[in-house]
Amino acid sequence: MEKQFWHDRWESNQIGFHQDEINHYLQQHWPALNQPAGTRIFVPLCGKSRDMLWLLEQGYKVLGIEISPIAVEAFFQENNLKADVSKQNGLEQWSCDELVIICGDFFSLTAEHVADCQSVYDRASLIAMPPVMRPAYAEKMHQLFPVPRPVLLISMTYPQDEMKGPPFSVTDQEVHSFYSTTFEINTLLNQDILEQNPRFKKRGLTQMSETVYLLQPKAQ
C-alpha cells in the first residue's frame, strides 16, 4: 500500500476508521499492562485518535507517529492544543506538554525516536497494513524495541474475501507468527462486533470479530 493512499484518505475525509469516542477496550484492558503513571506510551499510526487524550489523562506521556499532516494538525486544532513544531532526528515533531506526535512515515523511525517509550498501544496499526506489509511492520516494531516492551494490541478478523480493507483481517495465527518468539501472547477478549457495525454488514460481511491481546515480553 502506497503512502499516498493514506494521504488521499485524509485529504478526501474518507476516515471511517477514525473513532470520535475513546476506545472502550483501551479503557477496560489498559490496566493489564501495569504501567506506572509518568511513563511514555508509543501509539503507532495514531491519526487524530482521542485515545491519546485518555492516556494523557491517566498521567502518561504519549508519543504518536502519523504520516498525514492533515491528521496531525486536526488533532491539535480539534482539541484546542497549541503545538510547538520542530525537527527532531530528521522528522517533524509536534509537541504539547507530555504529548509528542511525529509527522512522518512509521518506517522512517529509529530506535532512538522511541527510546523512552515503555509500552505500546496498537489499535489501528497492524490492521491498517495489507498482508504483504504486515511482516515488515512487525519486524520494524522488533527493531524499534530491541528490548521488548509490553503491547496492548487490538486486532480484527473477518472473511477477507468479503470486503476490501482497510481495515484488514488479521488472524490469530498471524499475530502469533509475528510476536510469539519475543512475547507471551494473552488473549484478553474476543468479541463478535458485526451487529454493532451495520456499515460493515452493508459492505457484505457475514462475520466480524475484534480481539484484544496483551503481549508481554518473555524473560531475556
The span from the CA of 128 to the CA of 170, in Å, is 10
The span from the CA of 146 to the CA of 110, in Å, is 11
Phi-psi region of 45 (alpha: psi -120 to 50; beta: other; left: phi over 0): left
Give pTM, 2 decimals: 0.92
Per-residue cell: 77: 486544532
Provide the residue type at 195 as one letter: E
Task: Identify which of 35, 48, 7 has the alpha carbon closest to the alpha carbon of residue 117.
Answer: 35
Question: Rounded to 10 degrees, what is the CA torsion of 67, 179, 26, 53?
Answer: -30
Q: Report the largest interatomic distance among the alpha carbons of the chain, rounded to a whole angstrom.
A: 47
Which CATH code for domain 3-217? 3.40.50.150
Q: According to the model, what pLDDT value does residue 164 have? A: 86
How do residues 9-48 score in pLDDT, each as one tens digit?
545 544 444 466 899 999 999 999 999 999 999 999 999 9
* Cβ pair 182, 194 in contact under 8 A: no
Per-residue cell: 100: 509528542
* Cβ pair 62, 43 in contact under 8 A: yes
* Cβ pair 193, 19 in contact under 8 A: no
Cβ neighbours of 126 (radius 10 Å): 27
Q: According to the model, what pLDDT value does residue 3 have? A: 61
* pLDDT tens-digit profile, the chain (220 residues): 456 554 455 455 444 444 668 999 999 999 999 999 999 999 999 999 999 999 999 999 999 999 999 999 999 999 999 999 998 878 999 999 999 999 999 999 999 999 999 999 999 899 988 899 999 999 999 999 999 999 999 999 999 999 988 889 999 999 999 999 999 999 999 999 999 888 888 888 999 999 999 999 998 6
Q: What is the DSSP letter of 217?
A: E
Cβ neighbours of 49 (radius 10 Å): 25
Task: Identify which of 36, 102, 98 has the alpha carbon closest to the alpha carbon of residue 61.
Answer: 98
Helices and strands per DSSP (H, E), number in the chain:
7, 9
Per-residue cell: 114: 522511541
Q: According to the model, what pLDDT value does residue 89 have? A: 79
